[in-house]
Amino acid sequence: MSASASLAGLTVEAARRALAAKFKASNIDSPDLDARLLIGAALGLDHTGLAVQSDRKMTEDEAGVIASFAQRRLMHEPVARILGHKEFWGLDLRLSDATLVPRPDTETIVAAALEIIGNDFAKDSKLRIADIGTGSGAILLALLSELPAATGIGTDISGEALHTAEINAQQLGLANRASFIQCDYASALDGPFDLIVSNPPYIRSADIPVLDRDVRDHDPHLALDGGPDGLDAYRAITPQAAALLAFGGVLIFEVGHDQSDQVSALMEGAGLTLPHPPKADLGGIYRAVMGRKAAI
Ligand code: GLN
């Protein structure tokens, strides 16, 4: 019997429980939540809608959609990828195969940037921002959503990622202040920038095979693989960024759990000063490393 045949005729609530049990048996991290999100999306219902319709029997078509979502989740495809979008900094972002699923940890970069800007600049100043390896546009668009007079440019090596970022900029009403350019890191950019942000690939190549399946099998390796010691991208970007920053401007990197010291040293090596200690994410891991191009 196919999965959809086994769900058809069940009530919404019974299907939700059946899915959650299957996910649990397959060691999916949050089986109940995932079952609810996928069934809600398949039926076009939010949390309340699901509760209101819990006794309704599902049609064949609905059961078919839910079964195909479930099949994908059982292959450890993240819910955000199945749904094709993910919330980041309160913004709804579209995803594609070429973009990472934006992580809550990455909101630390946005928070660090806004703190520095709050200290150094007036909220309505015409900041120029660059996001190197922008992916879905997450960091850049979050910043532009908070800074009404800022403009920004995102780069990515992947044209498909940039297409996704452009759609996100349009859907969020930020396209008039965001532009995107395909290049290797910052190689095609002209400065000066007041702020350069980047969440580059930083996983050691040898660690990729042992990553969580949700990440290893579904996030683009181009956005993960940081070379033998995980630091290749930082070595490439830091000198480029140091040259592109305005005097007083700041570079902010997302870093892996044990990389803040090495990335701080790379920044100092490129002539940047360290105006603030690294900022920790909600798990207490140093996640944002900041360097300033001192005024001369
Ligand atoms: N934070 C991601 C992960 O650990 C990695 C992202 C990156 O390499 N920039 O899954």
For residue range 194-210, what is the model confidence (pLDDT) as tens digits?
Answer: 999 999 999 999 999 99
Residue 264 lies in domain: 85-292
Query: Both 49 and 111 in a single domain?
Result: no
CA dihedral 77, 78, 82, 84 (to 10 degrees): -130
Domain end residue (candidates: 75, 102, 123): 75
> Is 247 among the domain residues?
yes
**Cα–ligand 1 centroid distance for 75 (angstroms):** 20
Determine the residue of 88, 100, 225 to mutate for testing ligand 1's pocket, defined as the one with the most ligand atoms within 8 A of the Cβ atom.
Answer: 100
Cβ contact 15:7 at 8 Å: yes
Residues 219 and 113 in one domain: yes
Q: Is residue 1 very low, low, confident or very high in pLDDT (cuts 50, 70, 90)? A: very low
The answer to whether the beta carbons of residues 84 and 91 sit under 8 Å apart is no
Report the atom number in ligand 1 closest to the C-alpha of 106: 1
**Given ligand 1 and candidates 136, 156, 202, which is best to mutate, with the most ligand atoms within 8 Å of its CB?**
202
User: Domain check: are 273 and 126 in the same one?
Assistant: yes
Residue 201 Cβ inside 6 Å of ligand 1? The answer reads yes
The answer as to whether 176 is a domain residue is yes
Stretch (H or E) spanning 182: strand 178-182
CATH number at residue 9: 1.10.8
Number of structural domains the chain divides into: 2
Same domain, 31 and 95: no
On whether both 9 and 37 belong to a single domain, the answer is yes
Same domain membership, residue 187 and residue 104: yes
Tell me: the pLDDT tens digits for 85-94?
999 999 999 9
pLDDT tens-place string over residues 36-59: 999 999 999 999 999 999 999 999
pLDDT at position 122 is 78
Flag whether pLDDT at 4 surpasses 80.
no
224 lines ligand 1 (CB under 6 A): yes
Same domain, 102 and 36: no
Both tokens assigned to 121? 């600049």
Probe target for ligand 1 pocket from 76, 86, 88, 103, with the most ligand atoms within 8 Å of CB: 103
pTM recorded for the entire structure: 0.94
| Span 209-258, pLDDT tens digits | 999 999 999 999 999 999 999 999 999 999 999 999 999 999 999 999 99
Q: Classify residue 240 as exposed, middle or buried by CB count within 10 Å of its CB (0-12, 13-18, 19+).
A: buried
End position of a domain, from candidates 20, 41, 75: 75
**126 and 257 belong to one structural domain:** yes
Q: What is the CATH number of the domain that holds 265?
A: 3.40.50.150
- Report the nearest atom of ligand 1 relative to the CA of 202: 8
64 and 89 in a single domain? The answer is: no
Is 240 close to ligand 1, i.e. is its CB under 6 Å away?
A: no
